[in-house]
């Protein structure tokens, strides 16, 4: 039975955890409202694309009421395959940072920097998280560094991300959590 021991939490909220390419870009000042709005729009599109990728599954048999449903599903899968290939081509032309363990939600992130220089506590900038190898653009979140340990563990607090981005990040974390719970309930063989 699931006891919650593997629940991933950050800043007292459910968080998404994975090994992903992450980078920190320091800025001289916090992002302005216009830049924050542009970032939010891009982040919404990226998170929606990631959500659509999570919803891909096997083609199920259709009922008699929707004779074209199977054809539409197959077409959708083919379009997704083409998008994946385009994303991989784009990603191969734009090297990504090293993949590191990261935990994040709408409030902030924690990760371990693979190298130097380490950001300074209190510094502002952008955390860039590449959510999937097929998505060419990273999630870009304005943040302030809350703490940095000498061995490279970084904790950042995000500037307000907006309601839509926050909801999509919450869904991303919840879907991962739901899979962990379902996996823990599977009988061991």
13: in domain: yes
E strand intervals along 78-152: 99-104, 108-112, 124-129, 139-148
Q: Give the per-residue pLDDT at 1.
A: 36
Q: Give the per-residue pLDDT at 64.
A: 54
Q: Classify each residue of 95-107 as buried b or exposed e, where b means 16 or more C-beta atoms within 10 Å of its C-beta.
A: ebbeebebbbbbb
Over range 81-110, report the average pLDDT.
85
Structure tokens at 2: 């699931």
116: in domain: yes
Query: 142 vs 54, 107, 159, 180, 188, CA distance in Å?
Result: 25, 11, 6, 29, 42
Domain that holds residue 159: 9-57+66-185
What's the pLDDT tens digit per position in 147-169?
999 999 999 999 999 999 999 99
Nearby residues of 97 by Cβ (< 8 Å), 6 or more positions away:
21, 22, 23, 114, 128, 130
Q: Give the per-residue pLDDT at 5.
A: 52
Q: According to the per-residue pLDDT averaged within each range, which of 30-34, 51-55, 63-67 is highest?
A: 30-34
pLDDT at 56 over 60: no
- Asked if 186 contacts 62 with a C-beta cutoff of 8 angstroms, the reply is no
3: in domain: no
Q: Give the per-residue pLDDT at 142.
A: 98
Nearby residues of 149 by Cβ (< 8 Å), 6 or more positions away:
none
The bridge status of strand 16-26 relative to strand 124-129 is antiparallel
105: in domain: yes
Rounded to 10 degrees, the C-alpha dihedral 60/65/71/76 comes to -70
Q: Give the per-residue pLDDT at 63.
A: 54
Is pLDDT larger for residue 121 or for residue 49?
121
137: in domain: yes
33: in domain: yes
Over range 115-119, report the average pLDDT.
83
Residue 24 belongs to what H/E stretch? strand 16-26
What's the pLDDT tens digit per position in 168-180?
999 998 887 777 7
pLDDT at 2 over 50: no
Q: Give the per-residue pLDDT at 90.
A: 74
* Mean pLDDT lowest among 63-77, 89-103, 154-168: 63-77
Rounded to 10 degrees, the C-alpha dihedral 30/123/28/21 comes to -90
Structure tokens at 128: 């860039």
52: in domain: yes
- Asked if 11 contacts 108 with a C-beta cutoff of 8 angstroms, the reply is yes
Q: Where are the alpha helices (DSSP H) in 55-128?
A: 69-93
Domain count of the fold of the chain:
1
Q: Select from 43, 21, 46 the least CA-distant residue to 101.
A: 21
2: in domain: no
């Amino acid at each position: 039975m699931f006891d919650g021991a593997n629940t991933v939490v950050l800043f007292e909220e459910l968080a998404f955890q994975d090994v992903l390419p992450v980078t920190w870009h320091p800025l001289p000042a916090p992002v302005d409202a216009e830049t924050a709005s542009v970032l939010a729009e891009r982040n919404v599109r990226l998170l929606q694309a990631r959500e659509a990728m999570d919803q891909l599954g096997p083609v199920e048999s259709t009922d008699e009421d929707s004779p074209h449903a199977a054809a539409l599903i197959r077409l959708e899968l083919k379009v997704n395959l083409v998008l994946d290939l385009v994303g991989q081509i784009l990603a191969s032309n734009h090297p990504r940072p090293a993949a590191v363990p990261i935990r994040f939600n709408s409030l902030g992130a924690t990760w371990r920097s693979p190298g130097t220089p380490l950001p300074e506590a209190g510094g502002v900038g952008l955390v860039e998280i590449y959510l999937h190898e097929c998505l060419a653009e990273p999630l870009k979140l304005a943040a302030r560094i809350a703490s940095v340990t000498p061995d490279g563990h970084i904790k950042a607090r995000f500037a307000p991300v907006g309601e839509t981005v926050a909801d999509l990040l919450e869904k991303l974390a919840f879907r991962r959590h739901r899979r962990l719970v379902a996996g823990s309930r599977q009988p061991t063989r």
